[in-house]
Amino acid sequence: MLCWHLTRGEDESMPSPPTAQVPAIHHRRVGDITLTVVSDGFLEGSMAVLQNIGVEESSDMLRAVFRPVPRRTSLNCFLIHGPGGRVALIDTGAGTHMQKSSGQLLRNLAATGIAPGEIDTVLMTHLHPDHSNGLATADGGAFFPGAELVMHEAEHAYWTSEEAEAEVARTGQGVPTGGAYFPMAKRQIAPYADRMRFFNDGAEVFPGVTAMHFPGHTPGHCGYLIASGGQSLLIWGDIVHLPEVQVPRPEVTILFDVDPPQAAATRRRVFDMVATEKTHIAGMHLHFPATAHLGREGDGYRLFPEAWEQTL
């Protein structure tokens, strides 16, 4: 019997194990519209930012479902392939200004075959840095040079308000960094100053896409309802940041909420709406690929992540 005895390095054809994941993108259809979920990575942070719950209790809730402690928050953006070759992007991720585990949008976007210059509309859920820091380059240019920047009028008004900035510096609520988010937001939107568009609740902001105002997290925080061919999907923005905690305990707010009581009330309203209507949902901080349904369970709610779809 012939035996082969190989030592490391003797056979250069031996396969090497992978050192990175494949690009994190996921396509699905909503009627005639194709939606692509594009991961921007994740952020890790303290459990102490959660409000109306103790650190030990919230940590135990994560451990009970085998999630890492402290929290790991997923970041997702969404491409909408509309009629006539039009392409919209919802949110732009954390850019290069936060943790190394984030800022993956452009890398993953390349795997979709869509170049930043081909995106004609950028829709913002709100202007927190993990959603808007991917708008501008380090030298102040636009990452999306052909895009119109679109947001709720209350969102732009808030982040450009000296009074709001002074209030946050005084209280710390909404911006734990003492107000640094305000100059950050203004710097990110500056390259789009001559091509910004503002809307109110219920406006069609892109073909087949309607804005839904969900205030509380920020004054102009919005979700976007995609509807086509008798199908629909609601991208609900930051209705939850930590689904393992806030779905069963919707009263739990986060220090990044500008108006915590309103944020909690909005979350309950949206939960009731999507559970009653059995709405397909997606979220910026749901775990990739970030699409799911929400159902009632006892006096509360339960999240049902969508199974992988093999076909479009």
In a 3-state reduction of DSSP, which class is residue 39?
A: strand
> Is residue 89 included in any domain, yes or no?
yes
CA distance 264 to 268: 6
Strand partners, 150: 123, 197
> Is residue 311 included in any domain, yes or no?
no
For the chain, 312 residues long, give each residue's pLDDT as a single digit of tens.
555 455 555 556 788 899 888 889 999 999 999 999 999 998 988 999 999 999 999 999 999 999 999 999 999 999 999 989 999 999 999 888 777 878 899 999 999 999 999 999 999 999 999 999 999 998 999 999 999 999 999 999 999 999 999 888 888 777 766 568 999 999 999 999 999 999 998 899 999 999 999 999 999 999 999 999 999 999 999 999 999 999 999 999 999 999 999 999 999 999 999 999 999 999 999 999 999 999 999 889 999 999 888 888
> Is residue 20 included in any domain, yes or no?
no
The pLDDT value recorded for residue 164 is 92
CA distance 221 to 214: 5
CA distance 89 to 230: 22
The pLDDT value recorded for residue 23 is 86
Interhelix angle 162-171/181-189, nearest 10 degrees: 150
User: Cβ contacts of residue 140 below 8 Å, gap of 6+?
Assistant: 187, 190, 191
Structural element, H or E, at residue 307: none
Nearest C-alpha neighbor of 270 from the set 282, 259, 287: 282
The pLDDT value recorded for residue 97 is 78
Bond preceding residue 289 cis, omega within 30 of 0: yes
> Is residue 6 included in any domain, yes or no?
no
The pLDDT value recorded for residue 12 is 62
What CATH number has the domain bearing residue 166? Answer: 3.60.15.10
Q: Is the dihedral of CA 288, 293, 297, 300 positive or negative?
A: positive
Overall number of domains in the chain? 1
Extended strands (E) in 4-32: 25-30
The pLDDT value recorded for residue 289 is 95
CA distance 65 to 153: 39
Residue position matching structure tokens 């829709």: 123
> Is residue 231 included in any domain, yes or no?
yes
The pLDDT value recorded for residue 100 is 84
Phi-psi region of 298 (alpha: psi -120 to 50; beta: other; left: phi over 0): left
The pLDDT value recorded for residue 260 is 96
> Is residue 121 included in any domain, yes or no?
yes
Can you read off the two tokens belonging to residue 141?
A: 């240019």
Residue position matching structure tokens 């396509």: 27
Nearest C-alpha neighbor of 137 from the set 92, 170, 82: 92
The pLDDT value recorded for residue 219 is 97
> Is residue 14 included in any domain, yes or no?
no
Nearest C-alpha neighbor of 153 from the set 183, 172, 127, 173: 127
The pLDDT value recorded for residue 311 is 81
CA 246 to centroid of chain Cα atoms: 16
The pLDDT value recorded for residue 7 is 54
CA distance 151 to 196: 8
In a 3-state reduction of DSSP, which class is residue 110?
A: helix
> Is residue 168 included in any domain, yes or no?
yes
CA distance 73 to 89: 20
Residue range(s) defining the domain that contains residue 286: 25-305
CA distance 80 to 308: 19
CA distance 286 to 106: 20
Query: What is the four-CA torsion angle of 156, 43, 248, 126, rounded to 10 degrees?
Result: 10
Q: Cα–Cα–Cα angle for 148, 142, 92, nearest 5°?
A: 75
The pLDDT value recorded for residue 3 is 53
